[in-house]
Amino acid sequence: MERTISRGDWQPPAPPSLRGKALRSFRDYALNDVQSRTLTPRTRELYERQLERLILPHFGETEVEKITTTNVRAWYAQLCPEQPTQRAHAYALLRSILSHAVDDERITANPCHIRSATSRRRMKNVEPAKPDDLARLQSELQPRFALPILIAGWCGLRSGEVRALRVKDVDVVGGWIRVRQGVTRISGQVLVGPPKTPASVRDVAVPPHLLPSIKTWIEHLPKGEAERYLFPGREPTAPMSEKALRHAFAKAKELIDRPDMTFHDLRHTAATLAAQNGATTAELMRRLGHTTASMAMRYQHSSAQRDRQIAEALSSLLKSEEK
C-alpha cells in the first residue's frame, strides 16, 4: 500500500452507494444509470428494451468490474448480425453505461474498444420518391390522405411530427411550418410531447406550390380552433392515429407504384430534393432537425438524373474553353 501511494497510483475506495450490494451487478448498475438520465419517454423505453433483450441476458449478473474487452467482443460477435441498426444502438448503449462507470470510479477504463461498432451499413438501398410522384399524389389523392404524406415528402417531417401538427403551427401566409411537438406510442399509450431532440424544434419553409392545398384544408376545419390538430383522429381532440397514416400511405404507394417505400423514406426524399437544389449540410441539418452533420448526410442520395446533369455541366466547361 505504501509503495502504491508513493507511486501516486493509490485511489480512495468508491463511495458505498456504488460499491454496495444493490449496484454490484451490471444489471443493477445499468438500470440505475438509465433511470438517472434525463430522457424522453420514448428514448427511455427504447433503452430499457435494448437492455432487457440484448445486453442484460449476457452481462446482467456479471459484476461491473469483471466485464472485460474479451467479454464485450464475444457478446458483440453474436449480436444481431442481420440487424445492423439494433446492433449499433445496443453497443452504443453499453459503451455509454460503462463510460459512466469510469466516471463513477467503478472501473478504471471502458472495455468497449471495437472500431466502427456504432456505425451501421445501410442494408436497404433507399430510392427517394420523384417530384412527379409527389405531384401525382397532390392531384389525385384526397387531401386528408395526400397532405400528411406531402408535408413529409417536401418538408422532411417525421411521422410523429406530422401527426402532432396543430392549426396554429402552420403559417400559410409566411409559408412556414413550426415543429413544436411529436406523437409517440409507449406501451400502448399515445403521448404528445416535445419532438425527438432539441434540434427537432424548428421552423421549416413550405414549398409555395403546397401552400394552397394546406390553406384550403385549414379553411374546411372548424373556425377559431388554433389548438386543433391539423390532421385530427376519430376524436377531434386526438391526433391522427398511426394506423390511419399507414392506410393513407398504402394508398399513396399503390398510386405511384412504389410498394418498397416506407413512410420514413419520405425524409430521404425531402433531404435529397433539397440537396439537389443547393442546400448545404448545415441547411439540411436545420431543415430535418438533426444534431450532427453525419446524420444529415445519411439522408442524401444521388440520382441518375442528377448524375446526368453533372456530366452535362462538365462538358459545358470544355465547350466554354473552346470558345
| Size of the chain in residues | 323
Quote the CA–CA distance of 269 and 263 in Å, as a whole number: 10
- Which one of 37, 209, 246, 264 is the catalytic residue? 264
Quote the CA–CA distance of 67 and 64 in Å, as a whole number: 6
- Which one of 89, 100, 202, 290 is the catalytic residue? 290
Map grid coordinates 433507399 to a residue: 126
267 is catalytic: yes
CA dihedral 238, 243, 245, 246 (to 10 degrees): 170
User: Which residues are within 8 A (CB) of 200 and not within 5 positions of it... i.e. 6 or more apart?
Assistant: 158, 161, 179, 182, 194, 289
Pick the closest to residue 161 from 204, 131, 210 (CA basis): 204
Quote the CA–CA distance of 107 and 100 in Å, as a whole number: 9
158 is catalytic: yes
- Which one of 106, 267, 268, 287 is the catalytic residue? 267
- C-alpha grid cell for residue 310? 453533372
49 is catalytic: no
Rg (CA), the chain: 25
- Which one of 158, 163, 166, 301 is the catalytic residue? 158
299 is catalytic: yes
207: exposed, middle or buried (Cβ count in 10 Å: 0-12, 13-18, 19+) = middle
Active-site residue list:
158, 264, 267, 290, 299
